[in-house]
Amino acid sequence: MVLRLLILLTFGGTVLASPTPAQPSWKPEMARELAPDALLVRLDRLVNVCVASYEDLTTDLLLGIAIANAQLRTILKQQALQEPQRQFVESLAKKCDFVESRIESIFSFPSGANAVVSKLLIDSEFWQSEGDGKMVAIPDQMRNRRSRRRRSELMMNDPQAMMESYLEAIDAGGPSELQSDECLSELLVNESENEFNTTANPKAGPTARRLILSRECSAAMSLRKRSYGYHLTHKLLFYIVLGRQRFANVDRSFVADGQRTLCEQILRESELIAGFDYPDLFRDLFMEQVFLCAFSDAPDFTNPGWLAAIVSWQNGEGCFKYYADGGDGAGGPNALTAHCSTHMTGVGAALLGLFARFQLVGQ
């Protein structure tokens, strides 16, 4: 389903001129490759593949484009953009609008949970940033100290045994993809029974909607039940959507605590994947982990080394694909299906837009 979301090659010189907001404390050799203009150029290449393959777009890919489009809309609200840059971002956002419009011809109501969720989440307005603060860079010294501590903790165990245990656990737990769709549809259409009533928000206005969540979804999304892999990222996506719905009976601190708890669990998995040098099998999952937790403002996931690894997986066509498939840059009638994983490419689009926004606008 769409919900396994879940998101820089600069050509000969910088195409765009950057403003001067606070920048992340990234190492100099990464600065050009990970600069916001370079990320936007990469996103443009990715979107061009989607425009050329409009009839073959999937909901996974459309969701990523909608999220990327939301980041572009947030960037365009900034007065500090120089005119060449603004024109480039406006042009890119218009392409994203065109790609995003494909959802209108894919699904019609009434339909199942998958279609309901796809139709309602593939909307750039839903994903636009609510804040206007500048991104706070993590000092390199602090980041390195954290990294050394975590590496030493990992080395206390047998890394190979840890990976074998992870492979055994990754399919365990919930929610399943079907449960994710059904529970997200309950958040979006709001028609069930709820355990979250205990988190009532006394500050919510009298006209705010109340969430009524089914017992099944309350159990599936419970933080008391351990999840791994995509089950864990699906659970985080649920909490992200829950927070953006602003239900009267759900306190925002409850949602924030849930997202923080989930990203702490996800971080252990992400560090394990990175420690094994990003095996092809886990790259799609790793991208999803980084995007969702960075979107949730978890600072450890703005790691420039991780972002550099991810952007290096974008192939010659402009998209992402499993197992380092051959044929990068080769021509063909359908680059999307020949050279791209639509899920990875969707997550890649969301990531590129998000990290460009972090640098140009903030979190």
CA–CA dist 266, 292 (Å, integer): 10
Tokens 């937790």 map to which residue?
A: 293
CA–CA dist 318, 9 (Å, integer): 10
Query: Looking at per-residue confidence, does 246 or 237 come out higher?
Result: 237
Query: Looking at per-residue confidence, does 111 or 314 come out higher?
Result: 314
Please, what is the average pLDDT of the chain?
Answer: 79
Q: Angle formed by the axes of helices 83-100 and 36-52, to 10°?
A: 30
- Nearest C-alpha neighbor of 174 from the set 223, 129, 242, 106: 223
250 found inside a domain: yes
pLDDT at 283 over 70: yes
**pLDDT at site 200:** 44
288 found inside a domain: yes
Q: What digits encode the pLDDT tens for the residues 50-90?
A: 999 999 999 999 999 999 999 999 999 987 888 999 999 99
DSSP state of 57: -
**Segment among 120-134, 236-250, 326-340 with least mean pLDDT:** 326-340
Phi, psi of 301 (to 5 degrees): -90, 5
CA–CA dist 281, 348 (Å, integer): 16
End-to-end CA distance of the chain: 28
**Domain total in the chain:** 1
151 found inside a domain: no
Give the pLDDT mean for 225-230. Answer: 91
Q: Could you give the 3-state DSSP secondary structure of residue 246?
A: coil
DSSP state of 34: T
pLDDT at 131 over 90: no
205 found inside a domain: no
CA–CA dist 176, 178 (Å, integer): 5
Structural domain including 240 reads: 28-126+160-190+210-361
150 found inside a domain: no
For 152-166, give one letter per residue: b (16+ CB within 10 A) or e: eeeeeeeeeeebeeb
pLDDT at 28 over 80: no
332 found inside a domain: yes
DSSP state of 135: P
Give the pLDDT mean for 25-46. Answer: 85
| pLDDT-based confidence at residue 216 (cuts at 50, 70, 90) | very high
355 found inside a domain: yes
For 244-255, give one letter per residue: b (16+ CB within 10 A) or e: ebbbbbbbeebb
State if pTM tops 0.75: yes
CA–CA dist 147, 163 (Å, integer): 19
* Count of alpha carbons within 13 angstroms of residue 292, beta-carbon side: 34
Phi, psi of 62 (to 5 degrees): -60, -40
CA distances from 125 to 21, 129, 130, 175, 309 (A): 24, 9, 11, 27, 29
Query: Is 78 exposed, middle or buried (CB count within 10 Å of its CB: 0-12, 13-18, 19+)?
Result: middle
166 Cβ neighbours under 8 A, 6+ residues apart: 228, 269, 272
**pLDDT at site 5:** 30
**Which two three-digit tokens encode residue 346?**
């969707």
Phi, psi of 130 (to 5 degrees): -95, -15
CATH number for 223: 1.50.10
CA–CA dist 288, 290 (Å, integer): 6
| pLDDT-based confidence at residue 111 (cuts at 50, 70, 90) | low
12 found inside a domain: no
